Structure 1
């Protein structure tokens, strides 16, 4: 991690996709003056499970995974984050320790908004408060959905759904059906909730069937409709 030239909130491209998109020019200028920004290289940790928050993290650019330690020390990825997303807000709002660890999976620029600054915005800006409440509600819904999926769906269905989720969330690279994220087989397995060996075998099967293609850590979605069918997502 290293400090970098501070990205200005007023000109931040990711802001349009963040909870701060509706702030006034004056509020954005004040936010720029009070935040800190650091550059994290792939694999570096932003915060750790069990530590206490000192502020709100906002992703200027890059990609982050949020994971919890499970049985026998095996990590379970519970969320992925990208440009414009905020992370660590649940622990910050509740005043409790982080229940997960955040680490970057691609080199990232991440801003830290101090606790007092963030709570000041919550007290004085109803729009941000409503957006945070919506995020918390979505988190709860997704947690319930994930429990249902892990309990009821076979591994292949879960894998197909994860690939579709990555497509929906990160999109494709330009002029290429490759997922716009570099992700390891182990990380995919941690999201699906299965062994890495099982994930590798199933990805190989999908490749043989022409549904996906694999080039190193890049995955191409060739037949999204087939993944939708495998994931049993038809109405």
Structure 2
């Protein structure tokens, strides 16, 4: 069940030690403005944070846990675009266009998210040039990441896509060559635009070649150079 509250550990944005570096560019008065309509929501694993096509009224900042950003395609097929973790901000591109969400977000594990009113967020963009510039940089970096994903998913063969997913998880999400997966096999397949069966078959091949070892949800990349070579050649 979803809880929403003003956490006793996060009553004021000025005193928060978990805020995004983007918000650190705001002065005291601007942070107080952000704090006016801000609220916090706790999610259990797999609960949806917002759905593609729904109204977009807030910028979200994850303060604990992990979430997936994904597109809902025809026939129930999803494409997992990226994973967000503390203290990253996210919100659909439609937030500043037509106030609609163009992708969905759901918790991968128990998570806490801070909701920031787009109305007050916009005011800070208008009054703080450094904040506005950093926000534009954030938007551009997300666009560049998405462009890279499109190239990888459309031009690489299946082993290259699976290698990319494992490298991304190791380097960008878990920060280690040994990690416990918080994603299901279906979610991993959605990340690579493969069927679950194809993903598992390629993963098994990597294991047989000694590139990775697996025990349940525990994964160790034992030959990162080999995995990166597979990624490179596609």
TM-score for both structures, normalised by structure 2: 0.89
* Offset, 1:74: 0.9
1:41 to 29, 32, 44: 44
Aligned residues: 230
Q: Does residue 100 of structure 2 align to residue 97 of structure 1?
A: yes
Alpha-carbon spacing, 1:158–1:10, altered in 2? closer, same or farther (3 Å) = same
Q: Does residue 129 of structure 2 align to residue 126 of structure 1?
A: yes
1:14 to 15, 18, 39: 18
Q: Secondary structure at the match of 1:106?
A: coil
Alpha carbons 2:57, 2:99 under 8 Å: kept: no
Q: Secondary structure at the match of 2:178?
A: coil
- 1:102-124 deviations in Å (ceiling 9; x for gaps): 10001111011112111111111
Counterpart Cα distance in 1 of 2:50 and 2:121:
18
Q: Secondary structure at the match of 2:194?
A: coil
Alpha carbons 2:92, 2:102 under 8 Å: kept: no
Structure-2 residue corresponding to 1:220 = 220
Q: Does residue 71 of structure 2 align to residue 68 of structure 1?
A: yes
- 1:6-31 deviations in Å (ceiling 9; x for gaps): 2243454432x532133334543443
Structure-1 residue corresponding to 2:3 = 2
1:84 to 78, 87, 91: 87
Structure-1 residue corresponding to 2:111 = 108
* Offset, 1:32: 3.4
* Offset, 1:133: 1.0
Counterpart Cα distance in 2 of 1:134 and 1:47:
24
* Offset, 1:218: 3.0
Alpha carbons 1:172, 1:180 under 8 Å: kept: no
Flag structure 1 segments of 5+ consecutive residues without an equivalent: none
Alpha carbons 1:18, 1:86 under 8 Å: kept: no
Structure-2 residue corresponding to 1:55 = 58
Alpha carbons 2:69, 2:104 under 8 Å: kept: yes
TM-score for both structures, normalised by structure 1: 0.88
1:168 to 164, 168, 171: 171
Counterpart Cα distance in 2 of 1:148 and 1:129:
29
Counterpart Cα distance in 2 of 1:190 and 1:208:
23
Q: Secondary structure at the match of 1:67?
A: strand
Alpha-carbon spacing, 1:23–1:158, altered in 2? closer, same or farther (3 Å) = same
**Greater shift in the superposed pair: 75-84 or 139-148:** 139-148
**Greater shift in the superposed pair: 73-82 or 188-197:** 73-82
Alpha carbons 2:59, 2:116 under 8 Å: kept: yes
Counterpart Cα distance in 1 of 2:98 and 2:38:
20
Alpha-carbon spacing, 1:87–1:208, altered in 2? closer, same or farther (3 Å) = same
Alpha carbons 1:170, 1:179 under 8 Å: kept: no
RMSD: 2.1
